[in-house]
């Protein structure tokens, strides 16, 4: 999401991007664009908002940017429940979930049964999505223009970033009272994992987990 002359917001799925968009649209609607040039009133907008930094047109590429990361164990539970309970049928999810018929543990086992270069794995992988959105890989340093906030502290991290890039005080004050939107409905993420499955998530997302200090927390 491009806020003209101010910043870029990179929207990794299930990390609070809809919350940020709704907040900013209320105050900067005409100044907000997708990298494709579309605005959020167009039908294609929902599928274009998870763009990579590499999709951003050159004239905006040097703007300060922020994206958010999330505890991977929590992210997978949110990802699964969002698509399982909402009326969307994206091919990547439908294939791995056997048409939304699999329980969470079965769904996860199927993700990890695919080769890591397969579409089924890439389209449902936390780390693959993170590296795509941020335009990097586990072997490359990220763009120094991109600040990485945490979903778990999104209000504070977003306020700090927007203050740094020059947003007005009224917008900053509104962040604290703005609620997260598009939440998935599920219990604490730890209740969905066996020890073996939790370890698999660690192994497949180890660089991000270790960089951001995430741990598997029991309820």
Query: Could you tell me if 205 and 98 lie in one domain?
Result: yes
pLDDT of residue 1: 86
Query: Could you tell me if 82 and 171 lie in one domain?
Result: no
* Residue 217 domain flag: no
The DSSP string of 147-189 is EEEEGGGHHHHHHHHHHHTT--HHHHHHHTTPPP-S----S-G
Number of neighbours of residue 167 by Cβ within 10 angstroms? 20
d(CA 24, CA 157): 15
* Residue 218 domain flag: no
Query: Could you tell me if 43 and 65 lie in one domain?
Result: yes
* Residue 219 domain flag: no
Model confidence, pTM: 0.90
pLDDT > 90: what percent of the chain? 60
Q: Of 49 and 139, which is predicted with more confidence?
A: 139
Position 178 pLDDT exceeds 80:
no
Query: Could you tell me if 156 and 80 lie in one domain?
Result: no
Query: Could you tell me if 31 and 111 lie in one domain?
Result: no
pLDDT of residue 5: 85
Domain residues for the domain of 205 are 72-131+185-212
- Domain count for the chain: 2
pLDDT of residue 27: 81
Query: Could you tell me if 45 and 146 lie in one domain?
Result: yes
Query: Could you tell me if 121 and 143 lie in one domain?
Result: no
């Amino acid at each position: 999401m491009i806020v003209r002359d101010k910043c870029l917001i990179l929207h990794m799925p299930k990390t609070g991007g809809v919350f940020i968009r709704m907040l900013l649209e209320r105050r900067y609607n005409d100044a907000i664009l997708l990298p494709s040039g579309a605005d959020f009133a167009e039908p294609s907008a929902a599928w274009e908002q998870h763009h990579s930094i590499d999709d951003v047109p050159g004239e905006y590429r040097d703007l300060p940017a922020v994206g958010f990361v999330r505890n991977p164990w929590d992210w997978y539970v949110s990802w699964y429940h969002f698509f399982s309970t909402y009326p969307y049928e994206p091919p990547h999810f439908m294939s791995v979930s056997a048409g939304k018929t699999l329980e969470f543990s079965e769904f996860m086992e199927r993700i990890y049964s695919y080769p890591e270069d397969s579409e089924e794995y890439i389209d449902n992988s936390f780390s693959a999505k993170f590296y795509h959105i941020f335009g990097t890989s586990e072997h490359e340093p990220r763009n120094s223009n991109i600040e990485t906030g945490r979903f778990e502290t999104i209000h504070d991290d977003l306020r700090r970033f927007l203050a740094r890039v020059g947003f007005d005080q009224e917008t900053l004050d509104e962040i604290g009272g703005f609620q997260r939107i598009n939440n998935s409905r599920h219990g604490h993420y730890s209740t969905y994992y066996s020890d073996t499955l939790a370890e698999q998530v660690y192994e497949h997302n180890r660089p991000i987990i270790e960089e951001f200090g995430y741990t598997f927390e029991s309820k």
